[in-house]
């Protein structure tokens, strides 16, 4: 991860959730963020704690190259995730509309399976009869 990538991600995460961010390192270690102190050209300085440890207020110097990904340690809804990337999603939707041709016709969805229990039972019975008939005539089960 580079400094610019980290800055962009942290700007997208709401400030209230910064204390819930965990840095997952390439070694597998996880560090829970309390406060980002400095963003240097090759590393960041933060106060936090190691995940699974109660020792708070520790200082960490993390090289950007050793950070594998960020994790928000709480349940997030899809709407919250989309809100973080609203500017990008809007531009993708606009680009999709601009490139879409009016002459393209959408294929109709495949016919849905019957939902009526009687229709399902009838279809199952017909399938079994056809399978039994093919065994009798061919000597082997029919392949689908």
pLDDT one-digit tens code per residue, 66-81: 999 999 999 989 998 8
Sheet with 58-63, side-by-side order of all strands: 58-63, 43-50, 30-39, 21-25, 67-72
Phi (first) and psi of residue 63, to 5 degrees? -70, 135
Closest CA to 65 of 121, 13, 116, 2: 2
The reply to whether the predicted model has a pTM over 0.95 is no
The helix (H) or strand (E) run that includes residue 121 is helix 117-138
Residues 27 and 5: their CA atoms lie apart, in Å, by: 20
Q: How confident is the model at residue 139 (pLDDT cuts 50, 70, 90)?
A: low
Of the candidate CATH numbers 2.30.30.100, 2.40.110.10, 1.10.20.10, 3.10.100.10, the domain formed by 3-76 belongs to: 2.30.30.100
DSSP at 126: H
27-60 confidence digits (pLDDT tens) = 999 999 999 999 999 999 999 999 888 888 999 9
- Confidence (pLDDT) at 28: 93
- Among the ranges given (62-66, 67-71, 106-110), the one the predictor scored with the smallest mean pLDDT: 106-110
Q: How many CB atoms neighbour CB 70 within 10 A?
A: 16
Residues 16 and 62: their CA atoms lie apart, in Å, by: 22
Could you state, in order of their start, the residue ranges of all structural domains in the chain? Answer: 3-76, 115-144
- Confidence (pLDDT) at 59: 96
DSSP at 136: H
């Amino acid at each position: 991860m580079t400094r610019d990538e980290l800055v962009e991600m942290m700007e997208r995460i709401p400030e209230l959730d910064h204390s819930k961010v965990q840095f997952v390192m390439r070694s597998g270690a996880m560090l829970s963020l309390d406060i980002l102190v400095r963003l240097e050209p090759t590393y960041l300085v933060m106060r936090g704690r190691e995940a699974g440890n109660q020792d708070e207020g520790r200082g960490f110097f993390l090289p950007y190259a050793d950070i594998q990904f960020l994790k928000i340690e709480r349940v997030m809804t899809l709407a919250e995730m989309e809100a973080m990337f609203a500017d990008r999603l809007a531009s993708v939707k606009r680009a999709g509309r601009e490139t879409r041709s009016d002459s393209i016709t959408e294929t109709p969805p495949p016919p849905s399976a019957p939902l009526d229990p009687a229709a399902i039972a009838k279809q199952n019975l017909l399938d079994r009869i056809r399978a039994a008939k093919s065994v009798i005539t061919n000597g082997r089960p029919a392949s689908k």
